[in-house]
Amino acid sequence: PRSGGGGMGWALLGVGLLLALYTLLRHGLRSAPRPRARPALRGRTAIVTGGSSGIGAATALELARCGARVILATRNALRGEAAASRIRTETGNEEVRFMHLDLASLRSVRAFASTFLRQEPHLHLLINNAGVSAGGMTEDGFSLPFQVNHLGHFLLTQLLLERLRSCGPSRVVIVASSAHCAGRLRPESLGRPPPGLFSAFQDYCDSKLANVLHARELATREQDTQVTCYAVHPGFVNTALFRYAPLWLKPLLLPLAWLLFLDPSEGAQVVLDCATQDGLEPLSGRYFTDSGPQQPWPRGRDDRLAQALWEGSERLVGL
Protein backbone atom coordinates (compact mmCIF):
# COMPACT_ATOMS: atom_id res chain seq x y z
CA PRO A 1 0.00 0.00 0.00
CA ARG A 2 2.84 2.34 0.90
CA SER A 3 4.42 2.04 -2.54
CA GLY A 4 1.11 3.06 -4.12
CA GLY A 5 1.14 6.23 -2.02
CA GLY A 6 4.75 6.87 -3.03
CA GLY A 7 3.80 6.59 -6.70
CA MET A 8 1.00 9.08 -6.10
CA GLY A 9 3.45 11.43 -4.39
CA TRP A 10 5.85 11.28 -7.33
CA ALA A 11 3.00 11.91 -9.75
CA LEU A 12 1.89 14.97 -7.78
CA LEU A 13 5.46 16.22 -7.60
CA GLY A 14 5.75 15.75 -11.37
CA VAL A 15 2.56 17.71 -11.96
CA GLY A 16 3.78 20.44 -9.61
CA LEU A 17 7.10 20.71 -11.42
CA LEU A 18 5.36 20.83 -14.78
CA LEU A 19 3.08 23.63 -13.56
CA ALA A 20 6.05 25.56 -12.17
CA LEU A 21 7.90 25.13 -15.47
CA TYR A 22 4.81 26.21 -17.38
CA THR A 23 4.45 29.36 -15.26
CA LEU A 24 8.14 30.21 -15.59
CA LEU A 25 8.04 29.68 -19.35
CA ARG A 26 4.80 31.53 -19.88
CA HIS A 27 5.93 34.61 -17.97
CA GLY A 28 9.61 34.40 -18.86
CA LEU A 29 9.09 34.14 -22.60
CA ARG A 30 6.57 36.95 -22.77
CA SER A 31 7.01 40.50 -21.66
CA ALA A 32 4.26 41.90 -19.46
CA PRO A 33 1.92 44.17 -21.42
CA ARG A 34 2.34 47.82 -20.56
CA PRO A 35 -0.95 49.48 -19.65
CA ARG A 36 -1.73 52.24 -22.15
CA ALA A 37 -3.58 55.48 -21.56
CA ARG A 38 -6.32 55.92 -24.18
CA PRO A 39 -7.94 59.15 -25.33
CA ALA A 40 -11.66 59.85 -24.83
CA LEU A 41 -13.65 58.76 -27.93
CA ARG A 42 -17.07 60.18 -27.10
CA GLY A 43 -18.87 61.22 -30.27
CA ARG A 44 -16.83 58.86 -32.43
CA THR A 45 -18.21 55.75 -34.16
CA ALA A 46 -16.23 52.55 -34.70
CA ILE A 47 -16.94 49.33 -36.59
CA VAL A 48 -15.12 46.21 -35.39
CA THR A 49 -15.45 43.16 -37.66
CA GLY A 50 -15.41 39.85 -35.80
CA GLY A 51 -16.18 41.81 -32.67
CA SER A 52 -17.88 39.03 -30.71
CA SER A 53 -14.75 37.14 -29.62
CA GLY A 54 -10.96 37.21 -29.46
CA ILE A 55 -9.04 40.35 -30.37
CA GLY A 56 -12.17 41.92 -31.87
CA ALA A 57 -14.14 41.67 -28.62
CA ALA A 58 -11.18 42.96 -26.58
CA THR A 59 -10.77 45.89 -29.00
CA ALA A 60 -14.51 46.69 -28.95
CA LEU A 61 -14.56 46.57 -25.13
CA GLU A 62 -11.73 49.09 -24.86
CA LEU A 63 -13.20 51.43 -27.51
CA ALA A 64 -16.53 51.34 -25.65
CA ARG A 65 -14.71 52.05 -22.40
CA CYS A 66 -13.28 55.19 -24.07
CA GLY A 67 -16.83 56.29 -24.89
CA ALA A 68 -17.04 55.42 -28.60
CA ARG A 69 -20.21 54.20 -30.29
CA VAL A 70 -19.22 50.67 -31.32
CA ILE A 71 -20.77 48.46 -33.98
CA LEU A 72 -19.91 44.75 -33.62
CA ALA A 73 -20.02 43.51 -37.22
CA THR A 74 -20.12 39.78 -36.91
CA ARG A 75 -21.69 36.69 -38.45
CA ASN A 76 -23.37 34.93 -35.55
CA ALA A 77 -26.32 36.96 -34.25
CA LEU A 78 -26.53 35.10 -30.94
CA ARG A 79 -22.86 35.63 -30.14
CA GLY A 80 -22.92 39.18 -31.51
CA GLU A 81 -25.89 40.25 -29.37
CA ALA A 82 -24.40 38.54 -26.29
CA ALA A 83 -21.05 40.31 -26.79
CA ALA A 84 -22.74 43.70 -27.28
CA SER A 85 -24.79 43.21 -24.13
CA ARG A 86 -21.72 42.10 -22.15
CA ILE A 87 -19.74 45.18 -23.28
CA ARG A 88 -22.62 47.54 -22.47
CA THR A 89 -22.85 46.06 -18.96
CA GLU A 90 -19.12 46.08 -18.36
CA THR A 91 -18.49 49.65 -19.59
CA GLY A 92 -21.80 51.37 -18.84
CA ASN A 93 -21.71 52.57 -22.46
CA GLU A 94 -25.14 52.01 -24.02
CA GLU A 95 -23.87 52.84 -27.52
CA VAL A 96 -22.75 49.32 -28.40
CA ARG A 97 -24.73 47.36 -30.95
CA PHE A 98 -24.54 44.27 -33.10
CA MET A 99 -25.00 44.33 -36.90
CA HIS A 100 -24.92 41.22 -39.04
CA LEU A 101 -21.93 40.81 -41.36
CA ASP A 102 -20.72 37.62 -43.02
CA LEU A 103 -17.46 38.35 -44.83
CA ALA A 104 -17.68 34.99 -46.62
CA SER A 105 -20.57 36.47 -48.63
CA LEU A 106 -20.06 39.58 -50.77
CA ARG A 107 -23.85 39.95 -50.82
CA SER A 108 -23.80 40.18 -47.01
CA VAL A 109 -20.98 42.76 -47.12
CA ARG A 110 -23.05 44.95 -49.46
CA ALA A 111 -26.16 44.54 -47.29
CA PHE A 112 -24.22 45.46 -44.15
CA ALA A 113 -22.72 48.56 -45.77
CA SER A 114 -26.05 49.84 -47.05
CA THR A 115 -27.77 49.24 -43.68
CA PHE A 116 -24.93 50.93 -41.83
CA LEU A 117 -24.85 53.96 -44.13
CA ARG A 118 -28.63 54.32 -43.80
CA GLN A 119 -28.72 54.02 -39.99
CA GLU A 120 -25.45 55.54 -38.82
CA PRO A 121 -24.52 59.13 -39.77
CA HIS A 122 -20.85 58.85 -38.71
CA LEU A 123 -17.85 56.56 -39.08
CA HIS A 124 -14.41 57.41 -37.68
CA LEU A 125 -12.80 54.01 -37.12
CA LEU A 126 -13.00 50.86 -39.22
CA ILE A 127 -11.25 47.91 -37.55
CA ASN A 128 -10.89 45.11 -40.12
CA ASN A 129 -10.21 42.38 -37.59
CA ALA A 130 -12.21 39.22 -38.46
CA GLY A 131 -10.15 36.34 -39.78
CA VAL A 132 -10.04 32.59 -40.38
CA SER A 133 -6.96 30.43 -40.80
CA ALA A 134 -8.32 27.81 -43.23
CA GLY A 135 -11.50 26.45 -44.77
CA GLY A 136 -13.10 25.59 -48.10
CA MET A 137 -14.65 27.83 -50.74
CA THR A 138 -17.20 30.64 -50.34
CA GLU A 139 -20.53 31.09 -52.13
CA ASP A 140 -18.73 33.65 -54.31
CA GLY A 141 -16.25 31.01 -55.50
CA PHE A 142 -13.15 32.18 -53.63
CA SER A 143 -11.04 30.46 -50.98
CA LEU A 144 -12.49 31.14 -47.52
CA PRO A 145 -9.36 32.65 -45.88
CA PHE A 146 -8.66 34.92 -48.85
CA GLN A 147 -12.23 36.19 -48.96
CA VAL A 148 -12.80 36.60 -45.20
CA ASN A 149 -9.34 37.98 -44.44
CA HIS A 150 -8.93 40.21 -47.50
CA LEU A 151 -11.59 40.41 -50.23
CA GLY A 152 -14.61 40.90 -47.95
CA HIS A 153 -12.75 43.56 -45.97
CA PHE A 154 -11.53 45.21 -49.19
CA LEU A 155 -15.12 45.54 -50.45
CA LEU A 156 -16.36 46.71 -47.03
CA THR A 157 -13.66 49.42 -46.87
CA GLN A 158 -14.46 50.65 -50.38
CA LEU A 159 -18.19 50.86 -49.66
CA LEU A 160 -17.59 52.85 -46.45
CA LEU A 161 -14.74 55.04 -47.73
CA GLU A 162 -16.87 58.05 -48.64
CA ARG A 163 -18.33 58.10 -45.11
CA LEU A 164 -14.84 57.78 -43.58
CA ARG A 165 -13.68 60.73 -45.72
CA SER A 166 -16.60 62.93 -44.76
CA CYS A 167 -15.99 62.23 -41.04
CA GLY A 168 -12.22 62.72 -41.19
CA PRO A 169 -9.81 62.53 -39.56
CA SER A 170 -10.65 58.82 -39.63
CA ARG A 171 -8.69 55.59 -39.61
CA VAL A 172 -8.76 52.08 -41.04
CA VAL A 173 -6.88 49.44 -39.03
CA ILE A 174 -6.27 46.11 -40.77
CA VAL A 175 -5.30 43.16 -38.60
CA ALA A 176 -2.55 41.43 -40.57
CA SER A 177 0.13 39.04 -39.27
CA SER A 178 3.83 38.34 -39.45
CA ALA A 179 2.69 35.29 -41.48
CA HIS A 180 2.75 37.68 -44.45
CA CYS A 181 6.48 36.77 -44.61
CA ALA A 182 5.52 33.52 -46.37
CA GLY A 183 2.86 35.11 -48.62
CA ARG A 184 3.32 34.66 -52.38
CA LEU A 185 0.43 36.47 -54.08
CA ARG A 186 0.02 35.81 -57.78
CA PRO A 187 -2.21 38.48 -59.34
CA GLU A 188 -3.36 36.07 -62.09
CA SER A 189 -4.74 33.50 -59.62
CA LEU A 190 -6.12 35.73 -56.82
CA GLY A 191 -8.81 34.07 -54.71
CA ARG A 192 -7.99 30.53 -55.84
CA PRO A 193 -6.52 28.16 -53.24
CA PRO A 194 -2.79 27.75 -53.91
CA PRO A 195 -1.59 24.30 -55.06
CA GLY A 196 0.58 21.98 -52.99
CA LEU A 197 0.72 20.05 -49.74
CA PHE A 198 0.57 23.13 -47.49
CA SER A 199 -2.19 24.82 -49.47
CA ALA A 200 -4.17 25.93 -46.38
CA PHE A 201 -1.10 27.44 -44.69
CA GLN A 202 -0.04 29.16 -47.93
CA ASP A 203 -3.56 30.49 -48.43
CA TYR A 204 -3.55 32.06 -44.95
CA CYS A 205 -0.10 33.63 -45.48
CA ASP A 206 -1.22 34.99 -48.87
CA SER A 207 -4.29 36.61 -47.28
CA LYS A 208 -2.08 38.24 -44.62
CA LEU A 209 0.31 39.58 -47.27
CA ALA A 210 -2.81 40.97 -48.98
CA ASN A 211 -3.69 42.76 -45.69
CA VAL A 212 -0.27 44.45 -45.53
CA LEU A 213 -0.41 45.49 -49.21
CA HIS A 214 -4.03 46.67 -48.90
CA ALA A 215 -3.05 49.08 -46.10
CA ARG A 216 -0.09 50.32 -48.13
CA GLU A 217 -2.06 50.98 -51.31
CA LEU A 218 -5.05 52.47 -49.47
CA ALA A 219 -2.72 54.95 -47.76
CA THR A 220 -1.23 55.93 -51.14
CA ARG A 221 -4.66 56.47 -52.68
CA GLU A 222 -5.99 58.44 -49.68
CA GLN A 223 -2.95 60.73 -49.38
CA ASP A 224 -4.94 63.90 -49.99
CA THR A 225 -7.84 62.95 -47.72
CA GLN A 226 -8.11 62.69 -43.94
CA VAL A 227 -8.33 58.89 -44.04
CA THR A 228 -5.26 57.03 -42.79
CA CYS A 229 -4.63 53.31 -42.66
CA TYR A 230 -2.45 50.92 -40.63
CA ALA A 231 -1.65 47.18 -40.88
CA VAL A 232 -1.08 45.47 -37.54
CA HIS A 233 0.59 42.28 -36.36
CA PRO A 234 -1.13 41.80 -32.96
CA GLY A 235 1.40 39.22 -31.79
CA PHE A 236 0.70 35.52 -31.56
CA VAL A 237 -2.69 35.48 -29.91
CA ASN A 238 -4.58 32.49 -28.56
CA THR A 239 -7.93 32.92 -30.34
CA ALA A 240 -10.51 30.80 -32.16
CA LEU A 241 -8.58 31.49 -35.37
CA PHE A 242 -7.16 27.97 -35.13
CA ARG A 243 -10.52 26.22 -35.14
CA TYR A 244 -10.02 25.47 -38.85
CA ALA A 245 -6.49 24.08 -38.44
CA PRO A 246 -6.10 20.47 -39.64
CA LEU A 247 -6.79 17.92 -36.91
CA TRP A 248 -3.24 16.51 -36.90
CA LEU A 249 -1.86 19.99 -36.22
CA LYS A 250 -4.12 20.84 -33.27
CA PRO A 251 -2.27 18.73 -30.63
CA LEU A 252 0.90 20.64 -31.58
CA LEU A 253 -0.70 24.07 -31.80
CA LEU A 254 -2.83 24.08 -28.68
CA PRO A 255 -0.12 23.59 -26.00
CA LEU A 256 2.05 26.08 -27.89
CA ALA A 257 -0.84 28.55 -28.02
CA TRP A 258 -1.48 28.30 -24.28
CA LEU A 259 2.18 28.57 -23.43
CA LEU A 260 3.53 31.27 -25.68
CA PHE A 261 0.62 33.13 -27.20
CA LEU A 262 -0.83 36.35 -25.84
CA ASP A 263 -4.36 36.54 -24.57
CA PRO A 264 -6.78 38.59 -26.72
CA SER A 265 -6.67 41.71 -24.54
CA GLU A 266 -2.87 41.79 -24.91
CA GLY A 267 -3.17 41.25 -28.66
CA ALA A 268 -5.69 44.09 -28.92
CA GLN A 269 -3.19 46.67 -27.60
CA VAL A 270 -1.40 47.29 -30.93
CA VAL A 271 -4.75 47.46 -32.73
CA LEU A 272 -5.92 50.07 -30.21
CA ASP A 273 -2.64 52.00 -30.52
CA CYS A 274 -3.17 52.33 -34.28
CA ALA A 275 -6.83 53.25 -33.77
CA THR A 276 -6.39 55.88 -31.09
CA GLN A 277 -2.81 57.13 -30.70
CA ASP A 278 -2.22 60.77 -31.56
CA GLY A 279 0.14 61.78 -34.34
CA LEU A 280 0.23 58.53 -36.34
CA GLU A 281 -0.99 60.20 -39.55
CA PRO A 282 2.50 60.50 -41.14
CA LEU A 283 2.86 56.72 -40.71
CA SER A 284 -0.24 55.88 -42.78
CA GLY A 285 0.21 52.67 -44.76
CA ARG A 286 2.87 51.30 -42.41
CA TYR A 287 2.99 47.94 -40.66
CA PHE A 288 2.92 47.94 -36.85
CA THR A 289 3.88 45.41 -34.20
CA ASP A 290 4.08 45.71 -30.42
CA SER A 291 7.42 47.52 -30.95
CA GLY A 292 5.84 50.21 -33.14
CA PRO A 293 6.18 50.69 -36.91
CA GLN A 294 8.31 47.97 -38.57
CA GLN A 295 9.43 47.20 -42.10
CA PRO A 296 7.25 44.40 -43.47
CA TRP A 297 8.97 41.57 -45.36
CA PRO A 298 10.09 42.57 -48.90
CA ARG A 299 6.89 41.40 -50.64
CA GLY A 300 4.93 43.53 -48.17
CA ARG A 301 6.78 46.59 -49.54
CA ASP A 302 6.25 45.78 -53.23
CA ASP A 303 4.24 48.73 -54.57
CA ARG A 304 3.66 47.12 -57.97
CA LEU A 305 2.25 44.02 -56.30
CA ALA A 306 0.10 46.27 -54.05
CA GLN A 307 -1.35 47.98 -57.13
CA ALA A 308 -1.93 44.68 -58.95
CA LEU A 309 -3.67 43.28 -55.84
CA TRP A 310 -5.89 46.39 -55.63
CA GLU A 311 -6.94 46.21 -59.27
CA GLY A 312 -7.45 42.43 -59.06
CA SER A 313 -9.53 42.80 -55.88
CA GLU A 314 -11.71 45.48 -57.49
CA ARG A 315 -12.36 43.12 -60.41
CA LEU A 316 -13.16 40.14 -58.15
CA VAL A 317 -15.66 42.02 -55.98
CA GLY A 318 -17.24 43.73 -58.99
CA LEU A 319 -16.34 47.35 -58.22
Q: pLDDT, tens digit, for every residue of 72-118?
A: 999 999 999 999 999 999 999 999 999 999 999 999 999 999 999 99
204 catalytic? Reply is yes
Q: Which domains does the chain have, with CATH numbers?
A: 38-317 (3.40.50.720)
Q: Among the options 204, 230, 244, 287, which is catalytic?
A: 204
pLDDT at residue 241 greater than cutoff 70: no
Average pLDDT rounded to a whole number, residues 157-184: 93
CA atoms within 13 A on the CB side of 268: 24
| Helix intervals (H) in 120-221 | 144-146, 152-166, 199-221
User: What digits encode the pLDDT tens for the residues 21-35?
Assistant: 655 555 555 554 555
Confidence of residue 137 (pLDDT cuts 50, 70, 90): very high
pLDDT at 164: 98
Q: Is 101 in a helix, a strand, or coil?
A: coil
Contact 104, 24 (CB under 8 A): no
State pTM to two decimals.
0.82
